[in-house]
Chains A and B, each alone.
Chain A
Amino acid sequence: MKYLQNTGMGLFVLAFLLWLSMLGVGSYRLTDNVIRKSIPDSSHYALLQPALQGMINNTYNSKFTFIHDFNYAVNHVNDSLKTANAWDKVIYTSYIFPVTKNASKGPLTQHPFTFFLIILLTAITGAFLYIIPEYTKGPPGIRNNHIFHQAMTARGWIGIILGVLLIFFYILLYWYPEYITNWVVLMDPLSEKLSGGPASQWFLYGFFYTMAILVMGIRMLLKYRHNKYQRIRTYSVMFFQTAFAFIIPEILVALNKPYFDFKNIWPLDYSFFYDYHLNELISSGTLGWFMLIWGITLIVIAVPVITYFFGKRWYCSWVCGCGGLAETLGDPYRQLSSKKLKAWKIERWIIHGVLVFAVVMTAVTLINYFSHNALLGSSTNNLHKWYGFFIGSLFAGVIGVGFYPLMGNRMWCRFGCPLAAYLGMVQRFKSKFRITTNGGQCISCGNCSTYCEMGIDVKWYAQRGQDIVRSSCVGCGICSAVCPRGVLNLENLSEKGRLKTKPILIGNNLEMDITVVLKKED
């Protein structure tokens, strides 16, 4: 058993190192064909082609030199345009990613699918060899042994290294994709099968995102094989990620329809009301209009109505992609979220701040759209740029996932997601959902709070016999699962008395002055 698991771990690490080493394989050679293919804009092509003559047909063994030389040439062109005051000709489009990718030469470009398959299968085999024995070796039950003893899960050196690597990955993905073109090259065959086109860095990301949810979803299914709520919920996030976030959008592209994730909802999907997106939908016939109406229906009807009946969990821990990753890949890190009162105070400011930002930005965008740029012309672009940089990329990606092993798996959902804020307001003020505490059975052990990924101090409520109504609760149900005394249960009950539930600890027949209790201990 131990041997099998060590082999698995070894294989996984091997695949991971192979994967990293892919970045250094091959060489780069710029040809006129490559330039033509990568720069479809003919005026840009005409401007850049002469400046790139020095690079043409040279073989670069170093990616860094290649990128440097190309950027230098582009900057040179732009500088002379600026000196000549030809501002309208300055090239703002970035071509460095397609150029680098298309200029790649070497074994990867010749046999991308072979490399892809070997690495993927090695990684998956390794992962399962480790995971399956780990969660099936004993009778089913809660197995949280040594979570706080291990460097991987207790913010030890492995966790820190992993966090740093994830952060690096996101920085490259968002801002320097030209450095990871070799990985994207490996994804080309699969992308061509699905959508008919070559892979982008986003295809690479989407594929690995989905694989992470599937593989770690199976881990979740095994870990909670005694808990049907957890199993169904995990199947749900695995399904929505694979079908709705990954496959359907690719098929839409193959059919020449707009790329569309039917489960992504504004304001998480912050570009839904951007002018280019609206134009794209409107110009795509019936399907486009359907997508537009579908998206608005989700915002206006689905979110309040479904949240009223079931709480925000229907989205956050059953459907959402960010939630799906947090509940699978992020599950080993849920205990790292801060439960301090102070963290809750900060959380409320930041998450509602992001919501306000998203709403204002969208309002400005729409005013701008309907007034045909008469009002607020370029300010929307600036707003989009800032939101995309700080919220869409830095917060949701770099911090949201990069910080899994450092500060828990729901950093984004808890502090940043504007949709979570919206769902949370409905859950807090108009919903049947709450976590019920079971009479006087709480022993303040702290398991519920410890394993709450949203950093809710669950036991604070349970130990005083108060039901938990919190806007941030994503209803993952782990508090109920880890409770050793059967105290917590996720329930949809009548709204009556939901917020004013008197804290009552059953067992002692004495009338206590509840109002005083509430005032002093709040």
Chain B
Amino acid sequence: MRNIVIIGNGISGITCARHIRKKSDDAITIISAETEHFFSRTALMYVYMGHMKYDNIKPYEDWFWERNRLTLLYDHVEKVNIQQKDLVLKSEKNISYDILIIASGSASNKFGWPGQDLKGVQGLYSYPDLQLMEENTNGIKKAVVVGGGLIGIEMTEMLLSRNIPVTLLVRETNFWDTVLPLEEAQMINRHIREHHVDLRLETELKNIEGDERGHVKSIITKDEKRIPCQFVGLGVGVHPNISFLENSNIETDRGVLVNEYFETNIPQVYAIGDCAQYRKSLPGRKPIEQVWYTGRMHGETLAQTICGQRTAYNPGPWFNSAKFFDIEYQTYGTVTPQQSENEETFYWEHENGKIDFRVVYEKMDHTLIGINSFGFRLRHKLFDKWLQEKRTVEFMMEHLAAANFDPEFFQKHERSIVNSFNEKTGNKIKLKRRSRIKELIRG
């Protein structure tokens, strides 16, 4: 029986622990200073908005851990001793390990703005951040959120739920246009404004001003505009949370450097999730992946290696999802903001301006590269299959009805999409009826 210690109780660490437990009887200890139990980080916003309580965002009931012999340690790792194979904890206890898995996640970015440490200025990543935001926004009149990405728009939605007017500063030309193509980004711009958010595009934060109590009272943008506010939400990305590894001899760059087996430079020490950085990134993927799903897949993969079946990280086609206020977003495969010259793209938008669909495919052989859908739901299983089988865009269009994942009675968009595609490309694709391709749905 080996002694496995996991630093971090987020989705990566917990998934890894669960999968190790399925295959082995090793002792497993999970250390976290954030919360006693695993919770869904992506659901923090719902607690603030009153959709759920903290208890509701815990994926497992509290008895789960003991029953699966997963020892939870509510403590902070101060230092890792590679030689003695032990960890120094804040409680001044030492804990030794045979195998160490670092899954310590991220911390919010701050880019050295003057005033960034004033009271009322914060990011939103952790549970303590949520508690802080509760305190910081209590009774305030006006807030500014910085960052045109997922955390930025989440914080905006949270603040609006408390009737706090928000100015959202986005450095880029359109919302999240480092990821979204123009039409999609503009659609979200419109939707943000529909919710009465003061959206300021191409606007950057210069500095933050405080009052005599050390509390934020306004911000100044790079174009020298002052916006009074009592809260500044920073949604400008995250970085690996690995400061406790300094001087540990574990090799790091921005994150903990790992190979495709999540092995660090030290034997029996691994890193997964947000805090891991691939020495050589996989084709089409970033060296640091900070997504719920990749964290989960890292955990699944590493568990195989730990249990004796050395397995390289081999994710299938990229996928992701999000929700921007009321508009859901799903993506399968790779859709970049601008198409390269060997890529062709087709875009369809519903007349209500809140539903759209984009497909990107190879110019030469029409192989599917990726799709974006906004405002309606698509079946992951089918797109995963079609992307792996290298199906053409024409094949996908023909079978699109099977991929629809919207609830019964919802307006179907496939016909309109295929018609528009035929019109633009001169194709004569006939949409196959859903009842005819049932085996695809069942799969």
B330 to chain A, nearest CB (A): 6
A152 in the interface (beta carbon within 8 A):
no
Contact across chains for A441 and B321 when beta carbons are under 8 A apart: yes
Residue of A nearest to B55 (CB): A446
Task: Check if B52 sits within 8 Å of A142, measured CB to CB.
Answer: no
A486 with B377, Cβ < 8 A, contacts A138-B195, A147-B50, A445-B46 known? yes
Asked if residues B328 and A507 are in contact (CB atoms below 8 Å), the reply is: no
Other-chain residue from A440, A445, A489, A512 in contact with B377 (beta carbon distance below 8 A): A489
Asked whether A489 lies within 8 Å of B407 as measured between CB atoms, the reply is yes
Using a CB-CB cutoff of 8 Å, which residues 307-362 of chain B contact chain A? 311, 314-316, 319, 321-323, 325-326, 328, 330
Q: Is B222 an interface residue (CB 8 A)?
A: no
Interface-located stretch among A47-55, A84-92, A158-166, A514-522? A514-522
Does A506 lie at the interface of the complex (its beta carbon under 8 Å from any beta carbon of B)? yes
Q: A187 near B: Cβ within 8 Å? A: no
Beta-carbon contact of B50 and A141 below 8 Å: no
Contact with A along B287-310 (1 / 0, CB 8 A): 000001100110011001000000
CB-based nearest A residue for B40 = A444
B410 near A443: Cβ-Cβ < 8 Å: no
Number of interface residues of B (CB under 8 A): 60
Determine which of A341, A441, A508 lies in contact with B314 in the assembled complex, contact meaning CB atoms within 8 Å.
A508
Interface string of A480-498 (1 = CB under 8 A from B): 1110111001110110110
| B19, B52, B304: the one within 8 Å of A148 (CB) | B52
**A42 close to B (CB within 8 Å):** no
CB of A508 within 8 A of CB of B405, answer no
B331 to chain A, nearest CB (A): 10
Q: At the interface with chain B, which of A221-229, A301-309, A354-362?
A: A221-229
Contact (A450, B410) CB under 8 Å given A486-B321, A520-B22: no
- The distance in angstroms between the C-alpha atoms of A128 and B367, with both chains bound, is 54
CA distance A146 to B161 in the complex (A): 8
* Chain A residues positioned under 8 Å from B58 (CB to CB): 446
Instruction: Kindly identify, within residues 15 to 49 of chain B, every residue whose CB is under 8 Å from any CB belonging to chain A.
Output: 18-19, 21-23, 40, 42-43, 46, 49
**B-contacting residues, A407-453, CB 8 Å:** 436, 438-441, 443-447, 449-450
Q: How far is the CA of A520 from the CA of B19 in the complex (A)?
A: 10
CB-based contact A507/B411 at 8 Å: no
Interface flags for B384-411 (1: CB within 8 Å of A; 0: not) read: 1000000000000000000001111111
A493 to B314: give the CA distance in the assembly, Å: 31
> Which residues A112-166 have CB closer than 8 A to chain B?
138-142, 144-150
C-alpha gap A341/B67 in the complex (Å): 13
Distance (whole angstroms) from the CB of A72 to the closest CB of chain B:
53
Nearest-CB distance from A413 to chain B (Å)?
21
Any A CB within 8 A of the CB of B413: no
Q: Which among A138, A340, A445 has the highest number of chain B CB atoms within 10 Å?
A: A445
Q: Is the CB of B43 within 8 A of A506?
A: no
Compute how far the CA of A489 lies from the CA of B410 in the bound complex, rounded to whole angstroms.
Answer: 12
Tell me, yes or no, whether B438 is within 8 Å of chain A by CB.
yes
Find out whether the CB atom of A507 lies under 8 angstroms from the CB atom of B319: yes
Query: How many Å lie between the Cα of A146 and that of B158 in the bound state?
Result: 11
| Complex partner residue of A512 from B40, B51, B292, B300, CB under 8 angstroms | B300
CA distance A490 to B409 in the complex (A): 11
Give Cα A335–Cα B47 distance, bound, in whole angstroms: 13
A146 to B, closest residue via Cβ: B50
CA distance A378 to B297 in the complex (A): 66
Across the interface, which residues of B come within 8 angstroms of A147, CB to CB? Answer: 50-51
For the complex, what is the distance from the CA of A494 to the CA of B440, rounded to whole Å?
12
* Total residue contacts A-B, CB cutoff 8 A: 174
Q: How far is the CA of A517 from the CA of B378 in the complex (A)?
A: 27
User: Which A residues between 169 and 226 are near B, CB-CB below 8 angstroms?
Assistant: 226
Which chain B residue lies CB-closest to A462? B59
With a cutoff of 8 Å between Cβ atoms, the chain A residues found around residue B19 in the complex are 512
What A residues does B441 contact at CB under 8 A?
491, 493
Q: Are A438 and B40 in contact (CB under 8 A)?
A: no
- List the B side residues contacting A438 at CB < 8 Å: 377, 379-381, 405
- Is there an interface contact between A446 and B52, defined as CB atoms closer than 8 Å? yes
Chain B CB within 8 A of A324 CB: no
List B contacts of A341 (CB < 8 A).
61
Min CB–CB distance B188 → chain A (angstroms) = 13
* Distance in angstroms between the alpha carbons of A227 and B23 in the assembled complex: 43
Asked whether B407 lies within 8 Å of A507 as measured between CB atoms, the reply is: no
Report if A510 contacts B (CB, 8 A): yes
Q: Cβ of B442: which chain A residues have Cβ within 8 Å of it?
A: 493-494, 496-497
Q: Are B43 and A444 touching (Cβ within 8 A)?
A: yes
Q: How far is the CA of A229 from the CA of B325 in the complex (A)?
A: 21
Query: With A and B bound together, what is the CA distance between A63 and B194 in angstroms?
Result: 58
Is A405 an interface residue when CB atoms closer than 8 A count as contact?
A: no
Flag whether B53 is at the interface (Cβ < 8 A).
Answer: yes
CB distance from B328 to the nearest CB of A (A): 5
Is the C-beta of A14 less than 8 angstroms from some C-beta in chain B? no
Q: Which of B50, B51, B384, B438 has the most CB of A within 10 A?
A: B51
Of B297, B384, B407, most buried by chain A (CB within 10 Å of CB) is B407
A138 to B23, CA, bound (A): 50
B49 & A146 in contact (Cβ 8 Å cutoff) = yes
Cβ A445 vs Cβ B57 within 8 A: yes
Q: List 13 A-B contacts (CB under 8 A).
A: A139-B325, A144-B50, A150-B50, A438-B377, A441-B321, A441-B330, A444-B42, A445-B46, A446-B43, A485-B323, A507-B296, A510-B301, A512-B300
Q: Closest 10 interchain pairs by CB?
A: A439-B380, A141-B326, A486-B377, A445-B43, A146-B50, A149-B50, A444-B59, A508-B297, A484-B323, A228-B409
Q: Apart from A506-B384, A508-B315, what are 19 other A-B pairs with CB-CB below 8 Å?
A: A140-B326, A141-B325, A144-B50, A149-B50, A228-B410, A228-B411, A335-B52, A340-B61, A436-B405, A438-B381, A441-B380, A444-B42, A481-B407, A486-B321, A506-B316, A506-B380, A508-B301, A517-B22, A521-B18
